[in-house]
Amino acid sequence: KNEVEQSPQNLTAQEGEFITINCSYSVGISALHWLQQHPGGGIVSLFMLSSGKKKHGRLIATINIQEKHSSLHITASHPRDSAVYICAVGASNYQLIWGAGTKLIIKP
């Protein structure tokens, strides 16, 4: 079993829909990261959180430390949100443990 599991692997939705991507992990963490990778593009850090909730524009990230679970939500989704969303956890050392990513496609 992978230490970081993301679901779903693939998600296709219509413009305007509310999107939820989930991340579960099995190790002790110092922080959880959500990152975005556009097709052919670089990787951008969206959030880093160790408790509670963070919001940036239409993006919201939550984490439940007791349940070892995080969610990334996108409100009023738009085709430009189409990307791969990656969850990664900072473990006790320097490394990030990476999820496999969720490929999101938003159709107009």
Which residue in 16, 44, 52, 107 binds another protein (CB under 8 A)? 44
Q: What share of the chain is helix, strand, coil (3-state, %, to 5)?
A: 5, 60, 40
Q: Which stretch binds another protein (CB under 8 A): 13-21, 59-67, 74-82, 92-100?
A: 92-100
Side-chain-side CA neighbours of 102 within 13 Å: the count stands at 25
CA 67 – CA 32 distance, rounded (Å): 13
CB closer to another protein, 50 vs 75: 50
Binding to another protein by CB under 8 A, coded x per residue (else -) over 50-79, reads x-----------------------------
Q: Does 26 bind another protein (CB under 8 A)?
A: no
Pick between residue 4 and residue 74 the one whose CB is nearest to another protein.
4
Instruction: Please say whether the beta carbons of 61 and 48 come within 8 A.
Output: no
